[in-house]
């Protein structure tokens, strides 16, 4: 084996510098170029971070070529089968699976933080009823810092943990109320006798005038959706949360920035975009035309729910949720014509040379929307559901960042290609 360094020579000056290679537990090694500017007076250029590791992390590992996803070392398939969302939240935050007592305490703690300040409830009244629920989420999550400012010291371990629990516990309440507000319906308060996911469904669908019974199939499927979305290493929204947090901003403000980032159709908004696309296709006979559009380099249309920056194989979450999709549709006796279109589209795209060559496989969003439709979740709420699941990932990654020994504000550099230095031109001399 050679030396654990990479040598870079600047051919314009002939200067040669060695940079150390760092190796993690899994995955490609990284070249530590933190001294590059000092040594060579040069930055690296990597738009979209295609070759850049922005941090060290012990939380989640993805092998995109093999289709592997590990939370704290545990394969997602095992967690999906044997665990549940709250246990996964504990694991992501603490790093280890809980004992019986630890999980009982954690469940109690989360259950008893689900209420929100009554002032926050009034806050909703300022939004338009037809606002997208994600726009309400960005606002209300950010506003948490105005209602829970007692424990915002980011350097205090206890404050960080309570803020994290508040976020995980209150997110379903905030999300369900965003939905109820859009419908002009009364807000349902959380109930401590229900599990995390049952509580969410209760707050989404119960009315004061009648009893509401949570469908166990729906609750199980929703819990799985939360679990599968809980973390995904340094994706766009998580990187946003870390970057915001690097300025020592409070966790609610940072997570609100993450919610805004998640909303985009290239990220968490894709599940909503999948359903809109399936509706636009409308019939299996139109699939070929849409596939051709997706392949046309002059057409901006892409197959929503296909492709992933990291997975160049089947997204392991997609495999799990695909199976769950069949189970939910069958046990809830849902006959959804969009599902037929989705299955045919999947079949055609997976056999198409364009998609094979580019390693474009269905991602988790391709199926999660169909399950949510079967449960009765409106399309506009899909990304909100993703937000509930991802909250623990954001806050765990934020906590990892804020507890690093060396604290540095995230501050990328640039290659300036604008106008060179020039003198101000008085207005009467401008053309």
Among residues 84, 223, 231, 365, which one is catalytic?
365
Taking CB under 6 A as the rule, does residue 393 contact ligand ACO? no
Residue selected from 190, 307, 316, 393 as contacting ligand ACO according to rule CB under 6 A: 307
Q: What are the backbone angles phi and psi of residue 98, rounded to the nearest 5°?
A: -80, 155
Please return the burial class of 379, using the count of CB atoms within 10 Å of its CB with bins 0-12, 13-18 and 19+. Answer: middle
Residue selected from 117, 309, 312, 344 as contacting ligand ACO according to rule CB under 6 A: 309
Residue 61 φ/ψ region, left for φ over 0, alpha for ψ in the -120 to 50 degree band, beta for the rest = beta
Please return the burial class of 220, using the count of CB atoms within 10 Å of its CB with bins 0-12, 13-18 and 19+. Answer: middle
> Smallest distance from the beta carbon of 263 to ligand ACO, in angstroms?
11
Q: Computed over its alpha carbons, how large is the radius of gyration of the chain?
A: 24
The DSSP annotation for 210-240 comes to B-----HHHHHHHHHHHHHTS--SS-HHHHH
Taking CB under 6 A as the rule, does residue 155 contact ligand ACO? no
- Residue closer to ligand ACO (CB basis): 29 or 266: 266
> Smallest distance from the beta carbon of 232 to ligand ACO, in angstroms?
7
User: What is the dihedral angle through the alpha carbons of 132, 398, 196, 95, rounded to the nearest 10 degrees?
Assistant: 150
Closest CA to 286 of 357, 337, 355, 362: 337
Please return the burial class of 310, using the count of CB atoms within 10 Å of its CB with bins 0-12, 13-18 and 19+. Answer: middle
- Nearest residue to ligand ACO on Cβ basis: 307
- Residue closer to ligand ACO (CB basis): 364 or 392: 364
d(CA 136, CA 326): 32
Taking CB under 6 A as the rule, does residue 356 contact ligand ACO? no
In sign, the C-alpha dihedral spanning 153, 111, 203, 366 is positive
Taking CB under 6 A as the rule, does residue 293 contact ligand ACO? no
- Residue closer to ligand ACO (CB basis): 98 or 265: 265
Residue selected from 363, 372, 391, 397 as contacting ligand ACO according to rule CB under 6 A: 363
Q: Please confirm, yes or no, whether 267 is among the known catalytic residues.
A: no
Taking CB under 6 A as the rule, does residue 364 contact ligand ACO? yes
d(CA 365, CA 307): 10
- Residue closer to ligand ACO (CB basis): 121 or 302: 302
Give the per-residue contact string, 68-107, with ligand ACO (x = CB under 6 A; - = no): ----------------------------------------
Taking CB under 6 A as the rule, does residue 358 contact ligand ACO? yes
Among residues 84, 113, 308, 315, which one is catalytic?
308
Which of 170-178, 241-249, 325-333, 361-369 is the region at the interface with ligand ACO (rule: CB under 6 A)?
361-369
Q: Please confirm, yes or no, whether 63 is among the known catalytic residues.
A: no
Which of 217-225, 303-311, 391-399, 403-411 is the region at the interface with ligand ACO (rule: CB under 6 A)?
303-311
Residues assigned a catalytic role: 308, 365
* Interface contacts to ligand ACO, rule CB under 6 A: 266-268, 270, 294, 302-309, 358, 360, 363-365
């Amino acid at each position: 084996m050679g030396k654990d360094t990479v040598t870079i020579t600047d051919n314009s000056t002939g200067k040669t510098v060695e940079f150390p290679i760092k190796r993690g537990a899994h995955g490609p090694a990284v070249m530590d170029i933190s001294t590059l500017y000092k040594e060579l007076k040069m930055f690296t250029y990597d738009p979209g971070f295609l070759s850049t590791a922005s941090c060290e992390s012990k939380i989640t590992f993805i092998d995109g070529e093999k289709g592997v996803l590990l939370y704290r070392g545990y394969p997602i398939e095992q967690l999906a089968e044997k665990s549940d969302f709250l246990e996964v939240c504990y694991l992501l935050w603490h790093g280890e699976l809980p004992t019986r007592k630890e999980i009982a305490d954690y469940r109690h703690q989360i259950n008893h933080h689900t209420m929100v300040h009554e002032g926050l409830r009034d806050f909703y009244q300022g939004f338009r009823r037809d606002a997208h629920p994600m726009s309400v989420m960005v606002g209300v999550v950010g506003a948490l810092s105005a209602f829970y400012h007692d424990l915002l010291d980011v350097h205090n371990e206890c404050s960080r943990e309570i803020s994290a629990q508040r976020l995980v516990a209150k997110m379903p309440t905030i999300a369900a109320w965003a939905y109820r507000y859009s419908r002009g319906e009364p807000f349902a308060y959380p109930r401590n006798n229900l599990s995390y996911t049952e509580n969410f469904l209760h707050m989404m669908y119960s009315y004061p005038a009648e009893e509401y019974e949570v469908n166990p199939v729906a609750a199980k499927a929703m819990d799985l959706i939360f679990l599968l979305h809980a973390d995904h290493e340094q994706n766009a929204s998580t990187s946003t949360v870390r970057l915001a947090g690097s300025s020592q901003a409070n966790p609610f403000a940072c997570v609100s920035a993450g919610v805004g980032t998640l909303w985009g159709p290239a990220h968490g908004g894709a599940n909503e975009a999948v359903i809109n696309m399936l509706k636009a296709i409308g019939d299996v006979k139109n699939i070929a035309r849409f596939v051709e559009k997706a392949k046309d380099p002059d057409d901006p249309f892409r197959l929503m729910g296909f492709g992933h920056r990291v997975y160049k194989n089947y997204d392991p979450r997609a495999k799990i949720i695909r199976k769950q999709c069949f189970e939910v549709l069958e046990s809830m006796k849902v006959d959804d014509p969009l599902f037929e279109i989705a299955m045919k589209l999947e079949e055609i795209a997976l056999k198409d040379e364009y998609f094979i060559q580019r390693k474009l496989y269905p991602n988790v969003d391709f199926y999660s929307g169909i399950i949510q439709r079967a449960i009765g979740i409106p399309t506009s709420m899909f990304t909100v559901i993703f937000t509930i699941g991802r909250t623990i990932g954001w806050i765990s990654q934020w906590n990892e960042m804020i507890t690093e020994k060396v604290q540095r504000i995230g501050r990328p550099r640039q290659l300036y290609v604008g106008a060179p230095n020039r003198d101000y031109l008085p207005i009467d001399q401008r053309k």
